[in-house]
Structure 1
Amino acid sequence: MKTTALAQVDSFEDREISELLKWLRLPTMAAQLEQASRQAEAGDWTVRGFLKHLAAAELQARRDRRIERNLKASQLPPGKTLESLNLKRYSLKVRRQVKTLVSGDFLEQCGNILLFGLPGRGKSHMAAALGYELIARGYKVLFAPTYQLVQRLLIAKRELELEKILRRLDSFDCVILDDIGYVQQERDEIEVLFTFLGERYERRSVIVTSNLVFSKWERIFKDPMTTVCAIERLVHHSTILELVCSKSHRLEEAEKRNRGVDLQTPGTARSADSANQSAGAEQ
């Protein structure tokens, strides 16, 4: 009888403590209170050990929820992770660079990553994979095809809300600009893209993918002076990855589906990749 009464008192106190924890916005501690109490009694935990266990569970749950929120906000393409990327296709130098970059240290220094290569060499996949790794380490990342981001900025400018959207983008530790080389902008579009890059210079980071080496970036920014300024701001504090492969991964996959048929003119991609690499080395 006495044992039953004590159990009821303990149960009542647990409910009270649980409610207090919820009011303090500690939902994981509240949810695990009863189970942790039983473990503490069975294991003869100290009070400090009991509190440490609950606090650690709350902290981990908050980290998991933050990562989940950041993943939803990132707009990263599904499945484009390091696990699904065949790093063996790339040089030892690139593999070592990737291993260093996933730590996120470059974000603390407001550094940039520039990915160059011909179509089908995995630039977008690698950029997205780095994005997933950075989010797992607690950073906020946004993935956007360059043309889409430029259009969003242009609309915001016309509606006199450019400053507002730039502040919103500033909340991301890293913005991935995919396929900057495909953008053939009018002057207004060039201005908003240049403004965006200028706002992030030495304050936040960008990851940029491009089929075009720097010597051809005047196609993007039209004006030589604007091109030079954009390149200088991106290159300063940047890591450059040149993705040189003999074949497009899309062709490789197509050849596998077609029983090893060579779908590529012999030597074409290899010579093009070599030319692309040589042009990049001139910068």
Structure 2
Amino acid sequence: MAAIFAEVALRAAKEHLTHEAYLWELATHERDLRIQRRTTRLLRASGLPAEKTFRTLDLGKLPSAIQVQMARLKSGTFLEIATNVVAIGKPGVGKSHALAAVGHELVTQGHPVLWLPTSTLVQRLLAAKRDLRLPQELAKLDKFACVILDDLGYIQQDRDEMEVLFTFFSERYERKSIMLSTNLVFSEWERIFKHPMTALAAIDRIVHHSVILDMMEVESYRATEATIFQQAQETNAETASLK
């Protein structure tokens, strides 16, 4: 307000604004600037990939049911009841992009979000456990309304690593939201947690209140792009041979 009060006062005088309208202009500027600074701060702390937003996400390539789910997730209301989101699909179908896009929307709404590869989170928790500060590390993570874990299926854990990840799931259960992407259907989660009962307990905590984005039947955009590129090369080669 201090930076613009004089400028706004001159404009208010020219436009014959009331004192109340003048104060409204100042307050509105202050509010907008605070929101802008908060969004910048939250985005910097989130670790979200900058390019993976709704603007760059081709929703048309996703099934209509998932498009409806994404529209609902975009509102951020799922955070109110600590709902989890699981994107399941083969590599290259846009799981990470979909979750990151939702993450960006949450940040603009003022929600603290953290994006991490699952392997990075596991190592972070494991280091905290070794240093006898696991509760403090979990408390730091608890400050985020939503933690987005990318690529759950690409980690092969030993017992200690499995235990800290399970602890993280348990700590947030019915309190704070988790969003995760994985190339493993739930029946294959035993490969991560090593023990059937532990895998079942982990699935229960994630799925109990959840939205499942089933992308198993979605075609890989990377594979599609590779096919198009190969066809273009073959066409160019044929054209060159004719010349």
Say yes or no: TM over 0.5. Answer: yes
Q: Which has more radius of gyration? A: 1
Runs of 4+ with deviation above 6 angstroms: none
Alpha-carbon distance change, 34 to 258 in structure 1, aligned in 2, over 3 angstroms: farther
CA contact (8 A) 1:76 1:131 kept: yes
CA distance in 1, matches of 2:100, 2:218: 22
Pairing partner for 1:146 from 94, 118, 121: 118
- What amino acid is the match of 1:62? R
Alpha-carbon distance change, 107 to 246 in structure 1, aligned in 2, over 3 angstroms: closer
Q: State the match for 2:196 in structure 1.
A: 224
The alignment's TM-score, normalised by the length of structure 1, stands at 0.80
SS at match of 1:177: strand
Pairing partner for 1:115 from 87, 92, 101: 87
Q: State the match for 2:2 in structure 1.
A: 30
Q: State the match for 2:24 in structure 1.
A: 52
- What amino acid is the match of 2:175? R
Pairing partner for 2:209 from 237, 242, 248: 237
The alignment's TM-score, normalised by the length of structure 2, stands at 0.93
1:214 aligns with 2:195: no
Taking the TM superposition and a 5 Å limit, the aligned residue runs for 1:120-269 are 120-245=92-217, 247-260=219-232
SS at match of 2:54: coil
Q: Unpaired runs of 5+ in structure 2?
A: 235-243
Q: State the match for 1:41 in structure 2.
A: 13
Q: Give RMSD over aligned pairs.
A: 1.4
1:66 aligns with 2:53: no
- What amino acid is the match of 2:87? L
Give the deviation of 1:246 after TM superposition.
5.2
Q: 1:72-111, CA deviations, whole angstroms, 9 ceiling, x for partnerless residues?
A: 0111112011111111111110001001110000001111
CA distance in 1, matches of 2:219, 2:77: 32
Alpha-carbon distance change, 105 to 123 in structure 1, aligned in 2, over 3 angstroms: same
CA distance in 2, matches of 1:188, 1:222: 11
CA contact (8 A) 1:178 1:209 kept: yes
CA distance in 1, matches of 2:86, 2:223: 24
CA distance in 2, matches of 1:242, 1:50: 52
CA contact (8 A) 1:115 1:210 kept: yes
Give the deviation of 1:183 after TM superposition.
1.2
- What amino acid is the match of 2:37? R
CA contact (8 A) 1:121 1:245 kept: no
Query: Which of the pair has the greater relative contact order for Cα pairs under 8 Å at 6+ separation?
Result: 2
CA distance in 1, matches of 2:228, 2:110: 38
Identity %: 49
CA distance in 2, matches of 1:224, 1:202: 22
SS at match of 1:80: coil
CA distance in 2, matches of 1:176, 1:246: 21
